[in-house]
């Protein structure tokens, strides 16, 4: 591969080459920066970029010992994460000149593992629905999803191979689906949240994006400290999982592209040897979307109290509306909602007695036309509320030529089994 095309390398492959000293981090970083220079005036994936610092860090890594799993790999950091050497604006003019004094714990861990932070990627305003300027790299008139829009678009457009994201409703899985890449949301609580702007302590999860399941697993292993996540994608691909096909009570909202992908997945995976069965809908599951919305609005209205009370004029109508909804929920009702959530998190484990993973929609369809919305997180809300690990698998194309896929969900704490199954599934669906 030519030096100018090194940006095409996936993270897992590049990590192996760098560890063997067959590839220099500086060459890889330079290639990615050239790609950013070529493409980001159209895509607008980055909020802040420091090319000189990234190249200097890469040169230092090339001259020293291998530091860790991400040694020398370029990394995009969602602008919701604090960084000591780059501005952090949380997608809002309220923090236009904000310079944190320390890295978020997850950013520090990635640097400790050898990652080279290329820059900060665009987030929607406080990771809610008001979008930033990022376009979908497959078609610039369509949304890339949100709130981790810049991270997903940068990975999809080959500006880098790994990027950090967060999910409070559907902010990892949805942009991964719209941009046609792998998005991984770990089990709730597996990744330290210190230094990431808190929106909803009950729902917030840190994860990330890669071009393949092994790429996402590599990043996940660093974020969680659990190397089983990386090891899972190196295991025997001939061990078929037990897959529960779960259409959810909202199946009537999906379009023909998702239905076609669903049927293709069922036929292909069954033929490949997977046990594919219909997963029954737990009684009351349809109530979880509204429960997630109430918890999200209450906790965001309170977590962002300073911004709500002192900077209303700088905040979008959409977020102000969420604040108003959240303040209508009283503390007693919120406590009851939290208790109900805990009950459901235990109850949902029953779904995984007969299934290793659940296959379910990620989105209603392709990325919608227009940049004034990030799309509907309907099919992500329940799984985020339940705190379960999820991964989006891209494998199809919709009627407009945009990416389509489905997500896999596993039991609480079964992140490594989820990634093993996801790798098996992705290999079969993209053969």
Give CA–CA dist 100/236, Å, rounded.
44
Q: Which pLDDT does position 215 carry in this prediction?
A: 98
pLDDT digit string (tens) for 375-411?
999 999 999 999 999 999 999 999 999 999 999 999 9
Active-site residue among 25, 92, 147, 149?
Answer: 147
CB 165 within 8 A of CB 181: no
pLDDT digit string (tens) for 85-106?
999 999 999 999 899 999 999 9
Q: Which pLDDT does position 237 carry in this prediction?
A: 63
Q: Report strand pairing: 116-121 vs 46-49.
A: antiparallel
CB 100 within 8 A of CB 80: no
pTM: 0.98
Q: Which pLDDT does position 4 carry in this prediction?
A: 75
Residue 235 pLDDT greater than 80, yes or no: no
Give CA–CA dist 271/176, Å, rounded.
27
> Is 147 one of the catalytic residues?
yes
What is the DSSP code string of 278-347?
A: EPPPPTTGGGHHHHHHHHHHHHHHHHTHHHHHH-GGGS-HHHHHHHHHHHTS-HHHHHHHHHHHHHHHHH
Does domain 3-232 fall into CATH 3.90.1300.10? Answer: yes
Active-site residue among 89, 171, 297, 303?
Answer: 171
User: What is the band of 84 on the pLDDT scale with cuts at 50, 70, 90?
Assistant: very high
CB 113 within 8 A of CB 67: yes
Active-site residue among 24, 31, 78, 303?
Answer: 78
Q: Which pLDDT does position 233 carry in this prediction?
A: 84
User: What is the band of 147 on the pLDDT scale with cuts at 50, 70, 90?
Assistant: very high
Q: Average pLDDT for residues 7-19, to the nearest whole number?
A: 98
Q: Report strand pairing: 162-167 vs 74-78.
A: parallel
pLDDT digit string (tens) for 293-307?
999 999 999 999 999
């Amino acid at each position: 591969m030519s030096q100018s095309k090194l940006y095409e390398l996936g993270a897992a492959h590049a990590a192996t080459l760098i560890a063997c000293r067959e590839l220099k981090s500086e060459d890889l970083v330079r290639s990615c920066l050239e790609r950013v220079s070529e493409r980001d005036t159209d895509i607008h994936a980055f909020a802040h970029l420091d090319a000189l610092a990234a190249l200097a860090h890469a040169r230092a890594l090339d001259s020293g010992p291998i530091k860790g799993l991400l040694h020398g790999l370029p990394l995009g950091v969602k602008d919701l994460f604090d960084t000591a050497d780059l501005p952090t604006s949380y997608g809002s003019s309220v923090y236009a000149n904000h310079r944190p004094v320390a890295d978020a714990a997850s950013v520090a861990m990635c640097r400790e593992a050898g990652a080279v932070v290329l820059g900060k990627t665009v987030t929607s305003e406080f990771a809610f629905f008001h979008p930033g300027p990022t376009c979908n790299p497959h078609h610039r008139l369509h949304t890339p999803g949100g709130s981790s829009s810049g991270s997903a678009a940068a990975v999809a457009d080959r500006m880098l191979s790994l990027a950090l994201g967060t999910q409070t409703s559907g902010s990892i899985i949805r942009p991964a689906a719209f941009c046609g890449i792998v998005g991984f949301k770990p089990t709730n609580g597996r990744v330290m949240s210190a230094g990431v702007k808190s929106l909803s302590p009950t729902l917030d999860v840190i994860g990330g994006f890669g071009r393949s399941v092994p790429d996402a697993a590599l990043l996940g292993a660093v974020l969680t400290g659990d190397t089983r996540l990386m090891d899972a994608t190196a295991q025997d691909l001939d061990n078929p999982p037990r897959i529960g096909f779960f259409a959810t009570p909202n199946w009537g909202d999906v379009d023909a592209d998702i239905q076609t992908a669903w049927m293709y997945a069922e036929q292909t995976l069954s033929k490949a040897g997977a046990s594919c069965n219909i997963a029954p809908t737990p009684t009351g599951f349809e109530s979880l979307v509204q429960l997630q919305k109430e918890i999200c609005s209450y906790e965001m209205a309170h977590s962002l109290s300073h911004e709500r009370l002192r900077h209303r004029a700088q905040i979008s109508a959409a977020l102000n509306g969420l604040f108003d909804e959240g303040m209508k929920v009283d503390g007693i009702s919120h406590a009851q909602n939290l208790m109900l959530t805990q009950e459901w998190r235990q109850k949902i484990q029953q779904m995984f007695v007969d299934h290793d993973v659940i296959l379910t929609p990620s989105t209603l369809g392709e990325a919608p036309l227009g940049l004034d919305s990030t799309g509907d997180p309907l099919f992500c809300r329940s799984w985020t509320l339940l705190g379960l690990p999820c991964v989006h698998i891209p494998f199809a194309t919709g009627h407009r030529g945009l990416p389509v896929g489905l997500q896999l969900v596993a039991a609480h704490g079964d992140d490594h089994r989820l990634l093993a199954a996801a790798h098996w599934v992705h290999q079969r669906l993209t053969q």
